[in-house]
Amino acid sequence: MEFGASGGNWAELSLPWREQLVGVPATGVLASGAIVSLVDTASGMAVWVKLDRSRRW
């Protein structure tokens, strides 16, 4: 998972495709756990950005 950028009311995260994250080898589709983790982290980041408590570590 990578942090892209953020603003006053938004944040950008990405999850680049990696073979270790594949859930269906025949199609290359990412495992649901990886996607859920991205959604969970993005949701938390959105709250921190909205509360103006985000900062790059």
Percentage, residues of the chain above pLDDT 90? 44
pLDDT single digits (tens) 25-52 = 999 898 999 999 999 998 888 888 888 7
pTM score, whole prediction: 0.74
Res 27: pLDDT: 93
DSSP string, 8-39: TTEEEEE----GGGEEETTTTEEPHHHHHHHH
